[in-house]
Structure 1
C-alpha cells in the first residue's frame, strides 16, 4: 500500500521534491538545541513517513526522525520543500507524496509550548530500538517490514539473513515475529496511520524493523530522497522472492545430528540454523565430545547429547537406533555432515521410518569407483587394492567379457573412500602409477580408483532438490591448483587454493552442468536434499589464463573447441559443502544450506522451498541471485612448526587492523590455529590450511580476485620451526 501517491508515481515511489528545493539543506541545530534533552519520549517525533509496496509479499514503511535540536530549527522550515503536514492537494499529503506527521507541532511553524511524551518513540523502545543508539544531531531512518498476508513464521533471524552484507549501513535489526507462531499482517489505510499513534501502531505490528545508520544533520533533501530510493530498491532485491511466512501451521520437530562437529567453528552454522528454524537438536556422538557436558552454554547449541559408541563396525547402525529409541521425545529426522557416516545414517533413517534417500544411492556416491562408472567408457577406469593387483592389471591386456584397461595419460589415482582431495594424485607415466596407488590405498584402508584426467575448468555445483526438481543451484569456479599444471608431478596435490562465485562459465555450459549432474543424482535415487557435486567442463569455451597483474581467471579461448562442451562428474557428496564453502554461499546468495539440509531431513517441504530462495539481484554481468562477486581464499601452512601470535592477535584480526583497506572488503576470516599449535605442511595427503577468508566486490569478478590475491600476499602467520636444535621463524 502506498500513501500519498502523485500522478505518474509508481507505487508512490520515488517521492518527488519541488525542483527549487534540491539545493536546500536541513539546517544545523540552532543555539537553543541541547543534546542533553535526548530523553526518550520528550522530543523525538516522526518528521515524515511513507508506505511503499515493494512486492506482492511485503510493504515497507520508511520513517524519518529528527533529533530535538533539529526539530526546533524546523519551526521555520520553508514550505517550498514540499514537506507539509497531512492534507495536501489530491490527497497527496504534500507536494511530494512524503507524508508529514504532526503538522501542528512544529513542521509548519506551529510549535507547541511543551511537547508531550512521544508515543512513537515509546513504541520503538518497546520493541528494542530507540533512544540509546540515537545521536544528538543525526537524522534517523527506520524501515518497518510489513508482510501483506497472515502466516506462520518460518524462521528467526530472517532479516539478518536477507540483509547480511547490505551495502547500506545498518545500526540494528529488530524482529518482532516469533518462529513457528502465527503472524497477523497489519491492515493499514491512510487514515489509520496519518498520526503519531498510527505510526506507533505500525511499529508494534511490523514483523521487523531496520534502524539504518544515522545520516549527517547537513543531509540535503535530494540526498535524503535518493537514500530512501536506494533502501527501497535494495529491500526489493532481498525480499522480493523470499517469503518469511508459510500459510500452514508449522509443527515443532526434533532432528538428530549423527556425529557432532569437532568444534564450534565448524558446528556453529548448524546449531544456529537449528535454533532459527525452531528445530530441537539432539547430538549423537562418542563419550568425551565437547557438547556432552550438560552446561548452560552447551544447552544453547543442543537439546540433548546421546552418548553412543561410534566405532564403524557391523553394529554401528543398531547402536545409533537404540540410542535414538531410548530418547523419551520423538525424533523426526536424522542427518550427518560426516562423509564416512552417510550410509550409516541412511540405514538408521530407514530403520526408524524417517525421511531419507535410498541406502543404495549413498552406497554408490561414497564409492568413487562406482560413481565414476556412472559416466564411464569401458577400459578407462580400474580399481585395485594393492600394488600386486596393479601389476596384474597392467600385465593383463585382454579380458574375456570386457575391454582391457588401457592407461591414457594423464590419469587420476585416488582412494575409493576419501574426501578433501586427500591422497589424490595426477599421474603422467606408468612409472608413477605405483607411487600413486601406494599413497591412495594407505588412506582409510580402501582400494584405489584409476580414472581419466578430465582437462577443463573445475566447478563445484551445489543443489537443493525437492522431489527431483531443482529449487536452487549454485555453480562456483575452482581455479587451477598445483596438480593441474602440465608439468605436475605425482607429489603435487589437488588441494583447493580458492573459489570464485558466481561462475564465469558461459550460460550454455552452466545449464549443461546443472542438467547433467541433476539427472545423475535423480537416476541414483537422490530426489530431496542438498548435494555438493564436483565436476569438470571438458571442451569448454573458456580456459584459465593470466589476464594481467598476475590475475588468473576464466576467459574465452582464442579458438573455440571443435566438440560440444560436456560435464564430467568427479564426485558426489550427499550433504552441503563443507562449512568453509557453505558460509560464503549464504553470504553471496542468501541461501543457508545447513538450514535446508535439516529441513529435508525432517521432511518439511514447505520450509525447504522457502530456504532455497536466493537474492534477486540481477544487474551488470553478475549471475542472477548473487549480491556480489566473492572470492574464498585458503591460506596454506608455510612451514611445519609451532604457531605463534607475537601481537596477541589472530592472524585474520591482525591483517584487518594492519590493512583497513582490506578489512572493509573482507566478509569473514576464520583462523584454524591457536598459539602453541603444532602444524605440518601436509595433513592426510592434502595441504594443511591455517585460515580462510572471504572477500567481496560489487565492482567486478576481476576486482574480487585481485582483492583475494592481495589478502593472500598480506596475510602473516608466524610458524616457529626447530631444525637440528636451531629455531627459525617463517611467515606467509
Structure 2
C-alpha cells in the first residue's frame, strides 16, 4: 500500500471509519488493492522528497495520491529518525543542513492550478490526489468534484477542477510504470480532470497511521465517485433556460444560479420590473445572462405576456422552468405554446389544487371543497346519502391553493369547523378543502422521475408539530420544526411510500422531473417516542405484522424549497435544482447523471447517505425588531458557532434570514415565522444528529426588541 502521512493524533478523524491496515476493504470489495509503495527521490530537482501511488479506484476513475514530506527530510540521502507509535515505524523530521531549493516541473504544475503552500520549506506534509476519468467524454458539470466531495470527512485545503463544462475531456490512462520521473507526475497533474490538496498534516507520524489514512481516504473517494460519471460520451450543446420568477434574494436563488453556471446553461430571468436581478451590474451578470422585465400579474394575460417577452429576446430559449408554486400552470402553458419540454398542464392543475390532488386517493364522503362558511353550512345540511360528505373528526382544513402550511388547521370538533374554513378561504382568495386527518408519521418524499421511472427516491422524517398533539386546537399550526434524514421507517414501509406516491404522480400526469411530495404513513410499525430525553421515530413496543398505507397530503411539482433541498444535497449528493433545469431543456442523459446519489453503505442508514442529518428550523422567539448588538455585530448563526465551537464542528450549513432592523412576527400568513435554519450532521448515529440539532435550537440566540 502507498505511504501517506497523518498526524499521530488526528483531530476530527471519523470515529466510525471501517478501514484499518489489517482488514483493508474485506467487508465490501471495492477495487483491486493498490500496489506496494513506490517512491521517487527527486532531490536533484525537487526540494522535497515524496511518495506516490496509482490506484484504479473503480471502472470510472483512477486516482494518484502524492505525498510530499517536509524539505527537512532527506529521503535515501540523509539519515531519517524513526520512532514508533504502538510499535509501528514512523518518520520524524530532523532539520538538515541548508540545501538549495530548486523548483521542479511537478511543483510548477501544481502552482499553475493554484495549489501548494506559499513556501515549500514549511514543516508540514502536503497530500494531493489527482482524479482521472478512465474514458473520454464531455464534461457534464464543471463543479462536479466539489459537489461529490462536499462534507468530506477529511480536511480539504483546495479543490481545482480542470475540466470546463461542455468541453471534451480526453482520458489519461496512468500505469504505475509510466510515472518514473518528476515529469511523469507533472503530466498526471496537467491531464487530471481535478486535483485535490488535502489539509496539511504534521511531520511526526507513524507508518501505520499513514497507511490507514490513505486506505480510508481512498474508500471515501470510492463511495463518492464509484457510480457517478463526470463525463458523458455524447456532445453537449450549450443551451439557454428561462426562469419564471427570479427568486426574492440571493440566499433563495443562489443554488439555482450556481447549478445553471456549472451545467453550462445561459440563464434568463423573467420577472416584474424592479426585481433585484434587473440592474445590469457585474454581480447580476454573474447570475444571469439577461433579465426580461414582464408584467407578472396573475391574470388571464400573463401567459401571453411571458411568451411575448421570450419571442422578443434575440437569442433562442431551449427550456423554461419555475420554482414558484403559483406559476406552475402558467409555466407549463408557456412551454406547451413554445414547444418546449414540459409535463402536461393538466398535471400541474391537479397538483396546485389540493382538492383535486386529494381526489387521486379519496373515498366517497371523505373530502369536500367549500368557498365560504355559508357553503359549508349548506353542505352539512344536505340529507344523508351514500356519497354525502360527513366529516369524521379530526379533519384537516386548508386552502386549495397555498404553501408552507399556511392557514392549515386541524379540527377536532364541529364547533371549530367554521373557524377553520373562514381562515382557509381568506388566504389567496381560494376555496377550502376539508379532508381526513391521517394519524401516523409525516414524511417528505422526493422523487426524480424519467418517463415515469424512478431514478432517485428518498424519505425524510418530519417530527410531530403543535397541531399533531391530541389536544391540539384549531389555532395550532402544522409549521414544521425539523427534518431528519435518512428516514427511520422500516424498509418495507419506505417501499410502500415509493410505490404509492410514484403511482399517484403518474396518475396525475407527471412523467419527468423532480417532485416533492408530503404524506403520512398510517398503521406504521414506528411511532414518535421519547427515549432518554430524545424524541425520535422508533419501532413500536407492540409492533406486529400490519399493512401500512401511505396517504398523500400534497404534491409539489418542483424541487423542495431551497431550505429543504439543503439536507438532500448534502446527505445524498443529489442537486434537485440541476435536475429541474435539465428536465426543462430535455437533457435526459445529464439528468440521469445528476440523479446519482453517493454510494455509501452503513448499518441503519439508507444506501447512498453519507451521514445522518437534522435540519432545524429556528422560530422567531417573539414579535419585534431584530438587533445584533449583543453579539458584537455577528449574525446569530455566526454568534452561535463562535460561542459553541463544539456544535460548530457538527454544523454543515447555517443561514440567517434577518438583518438588523428587520421586523419579525410570531406568525406569517398563519404559519410560524422562522429566523434561520441550521443543518447538522453525524457519522455516529441518527440519535446523535437529533441531539446535536436540539442543542443548536436551545443555544441559538437572536435579539428581538419589542417596539
1:715 aligns with 2:675: no
Aligned positions of 1:515-526 closer than 5 A: 515-526=499-510
1:172 to 158, 166, 187: 158
- Give the match for residue 48 of structure 1: 51
Task: Report matched runs for 1:2-13 at 5 Å.
Answer: 13=33
CA distance in 2, matches of 1:562, 1:491: 36
CA distance in 1, matches of 2:567, 2:362: 33
Distance 1:2 1:186, change over 3 A: farther
Q: Distance in 2 between matches of 1:659 and 1:41?
A: 49
Quote the offset at 1:219 in angstroms: 1.2
Post-superposition offset of 1:116:
4.5
Question: Aligned-pair RMSD on alpha carbons?
Answer: 2.4
CA contact (8 A) 2:49 2:71 kept: no
Task: State whether residues 43 and 68 of structure 1, in contact with CA within 8 Å, keep that contact through their aligned partners in structure 2.
Answer: no
In the other structure, the counterpart of 1:513 is 497
Give the alignment partner of residue 649 of structure 1, picking from 626, 634, 644. 634
**Which residue of structure 2 aligns with residue 266 of structure 1?**
252
Moved more, 192-201 or 245-254: 192-201
2:468 to 463, 475, 484: 484
- Give the 5 Å matches for 1:176-215: 176-215=162-201
**Structure 2 equivalent of residue 331 of structure 1:** 317
2:668 paired residue among 657, 666, 683: 683
Moved more, 484-493 or 71-80: 71-80
CA distance in 2, matches of 1:613, 1:134: 39
Partner Cα distance (1:128, 1:502) in 2:
37
User: Following TM superposition, by how much is the alpha carbon of 1:332 offset from its aligned partner in structure 2, in angstroms?
Assistant: 0.4
Q: 1:12 to 1:66 in 2, by over 3 A?
A: farther
Residue 288 of structure 1 corresponds to: 274
User: How high is the TM-score relative to the length of structure 2?
Assistant: 0.91
Equivalent residue pairs, number: 668
Check whether the contact 1:481–1:496 (CA below 8 A) recurs between aligned residues.
yes
| Separation (CA, whole Å) in 1 of partners of 2:540 and 2:665 | 39
Is residue 591 from structure 1 mapped to residue 574 from structure 2 by the alignment?
yes
Q: Is the 8 A contact 1:179 1:278 kept in 2?
A: yes
Structure 1 or 2, whichever has the larger Rg, is 1
Could you tell me how far apart the structure 1 residues matched to 2:241 and 2:231 are? 22
Correspondent of 2:429 among 445, 449, 455: 445
Distance 1:414 1:41 in 2: 76
**1:692 CA drift (Å):** 0.5
Q: Tell me, which stretches of 5 or more residues in structure 1 are unaligned?
A: 19-39, 82-95, 97-106, 723-732
Deviation at 1:486, TM superposition (A): 0.2
Alignment partner of 1:614: what SS?
Answer: coil
- Select between 477-486 and 638-647 the one with higher mean Cα deviation: 638-647
Residue in structure 2 matched with residue 638 of structure 1 by the alignment? 621
Structure 1 residues 133 and 570, CA, compared in 2 at 3 Å: closer, same or farther?
Answer: farther
| Number of the residue aligned with 1:90 | none
Q: CA deviation at 1:70?
A: 2.1
Deviations 1:61-103 (A, max 9, x none): 001112322237962248999xxxxxxxxxxxxxx9xxxxxxx
8 Å CA contact retained: 2:66, 2:129: yes
2:547 to 564, 588, 593: 564
Which residue matches 1:382?
A: 368
CA distance in 1, matches of 2:382, 2:352: 28
* Residue in structure 2 matching 1:68, options 48, 68, 71: 71
Does 2:221 match 1:235?
A: yes
* In the alignment, structure 1 residue 534 sits paired with structure 2 residue 512: no
Task: Tell me the TM-score normalized by structure 1.
Answer: 0.88
Where relative contact order (Cα < 8 A, 6+ residues apart) is larger, the structure is 2
Contact 1:46 1:120 in 2 (8 A): no
Q: How does 1:650-665 map to 2 (within 5 A)?
A: 650-665=635-650
Gapped regions of structure 2 (runs ≥ 5): 4-23
Distance 1:584 1:133 in 2: 38
Deviation at 1:47, TM superposition (A): 1.3
Is structure 2 residue 591 aligned with structure 1 residue 608?
yes
Q: What are the superposed Cα offsets for residues 359-393 of structure 1, whole Å, 9 maximum, x if unpaired?
A: 00000110000100111010010010001001101
3-state secondary structure, aligned to 1:117: coil
